[in-house]
Amino acid sequence: MDPIASRVADLLRRADEIVKAAPSRRDESAVIGQAGELLEQARDAVADIEDPERRRALASQVSRRIGDLDRALVASFSGPSPGVRRAPTRDVDPARVPPNQHLTAGFPVLHVGRLPDRRAGDWHVTVTGLVERRTRWSLEGLRELPVVTQRSDFHCVTGWSRLDNDWTGVRVRDLLEQAGPKPTATHAVVAGHPAYSANLDLAVLQRDDALLAWAHDDQPLTPEHGGPLRLVVPSRYGWKSVKWVTEVRLFDRDVPGYWEERGYHDVADPFLEQRFR
């Protein structure tokens, strides 16, 4: 076996042993944290496995275990968040809540990498790839497009959902129309600061509810929640709603993004529980 693959398998084994023993330990959360550190090491090592099939298989195993640890934290997300309007959690139509999701009144913060330090006035987003015209937009320039406020639900892959979010911004479809997608374009990779990305079917980005948003519940988006500009794709798990968007690149094929390369599902429909490959 590839020595790197062997190391990843060993890290997974050690993490499993820690998680199994956690309930018998005095500080269970600290022990779970140790397992998380091992899984982070495994996730970093997976990228160096040469065999693509083996790499994808192990990446999926790592991601599933990290997802299990994340879901263990869901109970702490049920209450309100400071400075955020309380979302409904009672008397909700069950059909709005995907399988194995729990409602939260607040808005938990989860992301990859550090918060951006650029000011909103210095922010730009570029539409490129298979387009007739490469276009670049400032935040002020985006406001020249039709501005909309839409209410939608947000479903995180870690198992929590926040209902009735009011997002203000512009439809991604309107940006794409300005750039002119070529007939061969079928998918997009949306990139965010500093090196995060997610893949999406182009048809999903062209729906009415897919936005590039700069405000949430009538307040400017804070950096923690993706400000100054984030993608909102309500029909997909939250990792597809890329924070700190800087680029939309069109392709003639499906190109995996950050989490997809690490074993997460390419489509990510929460009502089909498409969490992992």
Per-residue pLDDT of the chain (277 residues; tens, 9 = 90+): 689 999 989 999 888 888 777 666 555 556 667 787 888 888 888 888 988 888 888 888 888 887 777 666 555 555 667 778 899 999 999 999 999 999 999 998 877 777 887 776 789 999 999 999 999 999 999 999 999 999 999 999 989 999 999 999 999 999 999 999 999 999 999 999 988 999 999 999 999 999 999 999 999 999 999 999 999 999 999 999 999 999 999 999 999 999 998 889 999 999 999 998 7
Taking the C-alpha atoms of residue 48 and residue 14, their distance in angstroms, rounded to an integer, is: 20
Residue pLDDT, tens place only, 15-55: 888 877 766 655 555 666 778 788 888 888 888 898 888 88
Residues 153 and 257 in one domain: yes
- Please check whether residues 88 and 202 belong to one and the same domain: yes
Q: Last residue of some domain: 32, 48, 72?
A: 72
Residue 254 is predicted with a pLDDT of: 96
Number of domains in the chain: 2
Same domain, 111 and 54: no
| Same domain (yes/no): 219, 83 | yes
The tokens describing 230, both together, are 């984030």
Tokens 């020249």, located at residue: 144
- pLDDT score of 155: 97
Any domain includes 148: yes
What was the pLDDT predicted at 245?
A: 97
Residue with tokens 């991604």: 172
Q: Are residues 40 and 136 in the same domain?
A: no
For residues 241 and 147, state if they share a domain: yes
Cα–Cα dist 54/60, whole Å: 10
In-domain check, residue 36: yes
**Strand 135-138 relative to strand 160-171, pairing:** unpaired
Instruction: Supply angle C-alpha 192, 195, 199, rounded to 5.
Output: 60
Q: Which residues contact 259 (CB under 8 A, 6 or more apart)?
A: 63, 198, 239
In the chain, the DSSP E strands lie at: 102-103, 124-129, 135-138, 147-155, 160-171, 187-192, 196-201, 211-216, 219-220, 230-232, 245-251
Look at residues 92, 211, 89, 239 and name the one whose alpha carbon lies nearest to residue 162. 89
Same domain, 22 and 83: no
Closest by CA to 223, choosing from 84, 119, 106, is 119
CATH code of the domain in which 194 resides: 3.90.420.10
Q: Are 263 and 60 in contact (CB under 8 A)?
A: yes
For residues 226 and 195, give the distance between their C-alpha atoms in angstroms, rounded to a whole number.
14
What pLDDT score does 24 carry?
A: 61
Q: What is the pLDDT of residue 32?
A: 65
Same domain, 226 and 246: yes
Length of the chain in terms of residues written: 277
Decide if 277 is inside a domain. Answer: no
Is residue 107 in some structural domain?
yes
Q: What is the pLDDT of residue 125?
A: 97
Three-state DSSP class for residue 90:
coil
Using CB atoms within 10 A of its CB, is residue 170 exposed (0-12), middle (13-18) or buried (19+)? buried
What's the pLDDT score for residue 150? 97
Within a domain: 168: yes
Q: Domain range for residue 46?
A: 3-72
Question: Which of 72, 93, 115 represents a domain boundary (last residue)?
Answer: 72
The torsion defined by the Cα of 67, 100, 264 and 194, in degrees rounded to 10, comes to -70
Say if CB 180 and CB 132 are below 8 A apart.
Answer: yes
Tell me the C-alpha distance between 168 and 139, whole Å: 13
Residue 18 is predicted with a pLDDT of 80
151 and 207 in a common domain? yes
Distance CA 268, CA 272 (A): 8
Distances (CA, A) of 84 to 77, 106, 209: 13, 7, 22
Find the distance separating the first CA and the last CA of the chain, reported in whole Å: 23
Classify residue 259: in a domain, yes or no: yes
Residue located via tokens 């947000």 = 154
> Are residues 37 and 90 located together in one domain of the fold?
no
CA-nearest of 127, 136, 274, 120 to 205 is 127
Question: Same domain for 36 and 66?
Answer: yes
Using the 3D structure, point to which of 43, 72, 101 is the last residue of a domain: 72
Is 258 in the same domain as 173? yes
Does residue 262 fall inside a structural domain?
A: yes
Residue 24 lies inside a defined structural domain of this protein: yes
